[in-house]
Structure 1
Amino acid sequence: MMFGRSSRSLTGLALLALSFPVLAADAITGEVSKRDINIPAIIMFLFFVAATLYITWWASKKNQTAADYYAAGGKITGFQNGLAISGDFMSAASFLGISALVFTSGYDGLIYSMGFLVGWPIIMFLIAERLRNLGRYTFADVASFRLGKRPVRTLSAFGSLAVVALYLIAQVVGAGKLIQLLFGLNYEIAVVAVGVLMVCYVLFGGMLATTWVQMIKAALLLFGATFMAVMVLMHVDFSAEALFSEAVAVHDNGASIMSPGGLVKDPISAISLGLALMFGTAGLPHILMRFFTVGDAREARKSVFVATGFIGYFYILTFIIGFGAIILVSTNPEFMNVDGSIIGGTNMVAVHLADAVGGSVFLGFISAVAFATILAVVAGLALAGASAISHDLYAGVIMKDNADEAKEVRISKITVLILGIVAIVLGIAFEQQNVAFMVGLAFSIAASCNFPVLLLSMYWKRLTTRGAVLGGGLGLLTAITLMVLGPTVWVKVLGHAEPVYPYDYPALFSMAVAFIGIWLFSVTDHSRQAKDEALLFDAQFVRSQTGLGAHGAVDH
């Protein structure tokens, strides 16, 4: 057995707080006791680290240009990129959190997880092709294609940095808590290990190493989840009816776990949550920059298709795993505290299930994979943050697109090192804090600032620089303000009795502010610059369809 019988509390894995912030990241908070060392997990973890460091060394030999560093030279295939995107998106929170949500709430867990999946068709049909044809390394390239480069790049860069910083802190804190529980390491050592490995992957390997780390992690996670789901189905003779019937029979809530609608308290929250899940996904900078790693728009669309298939399949597996945990974990006293609660918290039911169906060796494998998921996600975040500073702010704003390529990459690497240090320091500082709101705010910013500016820059001819900057800026400020004044921060973090803004999710209102602001400030802009920007839309449209620049040159 990996777990002893003594009580080890893991309170508030943001995933069970019934808010999408928790499901979106590895935001584990609260007190966690160190565990006995799991030798199989340590061996597999060290093997994974050694393999990925070798990949980083191999990738470093191929990084000769900025295109190599930021976008792997555009040589990643659509299938590889799709697998890497799924690896970037399938976090430990998805594996541990959604299965735990199914364990506690039943059918609602599947509905919740599908919210993330709905964002991918939006990316596939509206964004992927034009993003690849118009941009080079970041989505700011696209947003500023025909608009004022300096103001739009500045807004896009700060929007990206806000998302990356919030998301990264939550990931690092979650990494420390998870590894502390699974591997028996001190929290500080766990955070430093994550930070150092993240810096190594990105600093030396760039996008190529990050891509392969994400691909390997995705394959391992899919294999592990598939094995667990198959073992659960074997237990019920591959009968879905038997699976659900046995779960209903032993669950405290009985047949109600098969009824949807218990996670969202009112229609406004439901709509706002749905918008955040769908459009926040389409505005995440570390996801968007992956589309510049493929050779053409066709491969970009293929990337989304493959990623959607893998992610959808994975969420179906977590649904089976959650119901399997109801049957095999909640009825097994080996996984229970003396008070009847789950050892390690409800969040760990997938880990207990791994022990139940595969023993200590498979448990070690799942533990190592959980760590691998964190490394893959933080590496992508670090690269997105570094590119926002080096490519968007330094090369685009300060040097006005006249930066020396070698110096730009050097600044990016310095930024990665600084991000790693900051992530370690803040990860340790926020150890005792509930960081779930940071991920919620990150998704809200992505949906309310990045996505509206990016979408309208591609499709609306009358968009102007003034509209993009003022409207996008208002969306950014509204998302931050409402999140702070809402129940998640104002009450749970700051300790006030009542929230000023009554809903958990700000996306419905902050997105409305952004789109209305962009429209209003654009249609009232009658300047010469606005007219010139409208005329450039036709040239932008041609390039967005063909991938050809003014002189017939193709990116990469």
Structure 2
Amino acid sequence: PPEAAAAEGFSIMGPGGFIKDPISAISFGMALMFGTAGLPHILMRFFTVPNAKEARKSVLWATTWIGYFYVLTFIIGFGAITFVLTDPQFLDPKGGLLGGGNMAAVHLAKAVGGNVFLGFISAVAFATILAVVAGLTLSGASAVSHDLYATVFKKGKADSVAELKVSRITTVALGVVAVVLGIVFEKQNIAFMVSLAFAVAASANFPVLLMSVLWKDCTTRGAVIGGFLGLVSSVVLTVVSPAVWEATLGNPKGSALFPYQSPALFSMTIGFLGIWLFSILDKSPRAAKDRAGFLAQQVRSETGIGAEGASGH
């Protein structure tokens, strides 16, 4: 009936359709906003530009396309409601979407452009997944082999052959973990799973980036401890949230230890506080060196002077 359709329309346009409580909504929004700046497979793209000028241009283009993509989500969502949910060929006998909610955009492509557009969107989806997985795998393998193995464990004395071997082992291990987690989270809404990954990035990487660039008293020790606290708290709170503890792990409803859907509001705060506290308490010679070098770093980051060429990685 028209009255029911009107009520449904108002509920779609109203706030809180995806997240029911305001704390989760704020936390969810923070994860999507600040997590984008901390995604490792985005950050590693800075290693692919030849100089500071091109890095700034790359950021401008990336921001433009990311903003364009976020605008498109509204158009695609409303398009799916109009063209997909009203067409019986895309619905199962119970009235649900064939293949689950994650197939809405793919079904919309077929509804709008037929099999040709369906094939195109499927190829784009596959290429996007491959690009993200490849970027994250490279980023993770590089962090373990170069940052942890070569720099921390071997104190900079590791040979390139051993470093490459560790990188390959890490790549395989990350692949296995990703496959296992993919199977466990098979039934989850992919849009919500993205927000959980963004929450980790917003809590572990973003505070370190922001504080190291903008705060003159940030030290290496503070950044490491604060980033680690943000990482651990975001992962732990994600696991014990209703989205994972109940929906994915199958525990009874209401048994989740953390009541909100997204942990970013809390874990990001822990990350920032950790960086601030342990930087203030850091009286080591390294801390004095970090503070003394802030002005030169600020000039370099704001103007590009002194960072014209690519650094050796």
The structure-2 alpha-carbon separation of the partners of 1:521 and 1:271, relative to structure 1 and needing over 3 Å to count, comes to same
The structure-2 alpha-carbon separation of the partners of 1:524 and 1:334, relative to structure 1 and needing over 3 Å to count, comes to closer
Between Structure 1 and Structure 2, how many residues are aligned? 307
CA contact (8 A) 1:548 1:554 kept: no
1:378 is matched with 133
Instruction: Give the 5 Å matches for 1:39-438.
Output: 253-405=8-160, 408-409=163-164, 411-424=166-179, 426=180, 430=184, 434=188
The structure-2 alpha-carbon separation of the partners of 1:469 and 1:540, relative to structure 1 and needing over 3 Å to count, comes to same
Cα deviation digits, residues 494-537 of structure 1 (max 9, x gap): 51433332211111122222212221222233344432332232
Out of 230, 233, 248, which is 1:475 matched to? 230
Cα distance in 1 between the residues matched to 2:189 and 2:8: 29
Cα distance in 2 between the residues matched to 1:488 and 1:454: 28
**Secondary structure, aligned partner of 1:253:** helix
The structure-2 alpha-carbon separation of the partners of 1:248 and 1:451, relative to structure 1 and needing over 3 Å to count, comes to farther
Q: TM-score, normalised by structure 2?
A: 0.82
Unaligned runs of 5+ in 1: 1-246
Tell me how far 1:294 sits from its aligned partner.
0.7
The structure-2 alpha-carbon separation of the partners of 1:258 and 1:391, relative to structure 1 and needing over 3 Å to count, comes to same
The structure-2 alpha-carbon separation of the partners of 1:515 and 1:419, relative to structure 1 and needing over 3 Å to count, comes to closer
Higher relative contact order (CA 8 A, sep 6+): 1
**Secondary structure, aligned partner of 2:293:** helix
Tell me how far 1:379 sits from its aligned partner.
1.0
Q: Partner amino acid for 1:333?
A: P
Cα-Cα RMSD: 3.2
Unaligned runs of 5+ in 2: none
The structure-2 alpha-carbon separation of the partners of 1:440 and 1:352, relative to structure 1 and needing over 3 Å to count, comes to closer
Cα distance in 2 between the residues matched to 1:260 and 1:431: 27
Tell me how far 1:403 sits from its aligned partner.
4.1
**Secondary structure, aligned partner of 2:17:** coil
Cα distance in 1 between the residues matched to 2:6 and 2:103: 17
CA contact (8 A) 1:472 1:518 kept: yes
1:65 is matched with none
The structure-2 alpha-carbon separation of the partners of 1:473 and 1:435, relative to structure 1 and needing over 3 Å to count, comes to farther
State whether structure 2 residue 290 is matched by structure 1 residue 536. no
Cα distance in 2 between the residues matched to 1:433 and 1:264: 18
Tell me how far 1:267 sits from its aligned partner.
2.6
Cα distance in 1 between the residues matched to 2:187 and 2:102: 18
CA contact (8 A) 2:101 2:189 kept: no
CA contact (8 A) 2:32 2:195 kept: no
Q: Partner amino acid for 2:288?
A: K
The structure-2 alpha-carbon separation of the partners of 1:311 and 1:529, relative to structure 1 and needing over 3 Å to count, comes to closer
Q: TM-score, normalised by structure 1?
A: 0.49
Cα distance in 2 between the residues matched to 1:554 and 1:336: 53
**Secondary structure, aligned partner of 1:340:** coil
The structure-2 alpha-carbon separation of the partners of 1:362 and 1:404, relative to structure 1 and needing over 3 Å to count, comes to same
Out of 251, 268, 280, which is 1:495 matched to? 251
Tell me how far 1:268 sits from its aligned partner.
1.7
Q: Partner amino acid for 1:498?
A: S
Tell me how far 1:419 sits from its aligned partner.
3.3
Cα distance in 2 between the residues matched to 1:251 and 1:364: 34
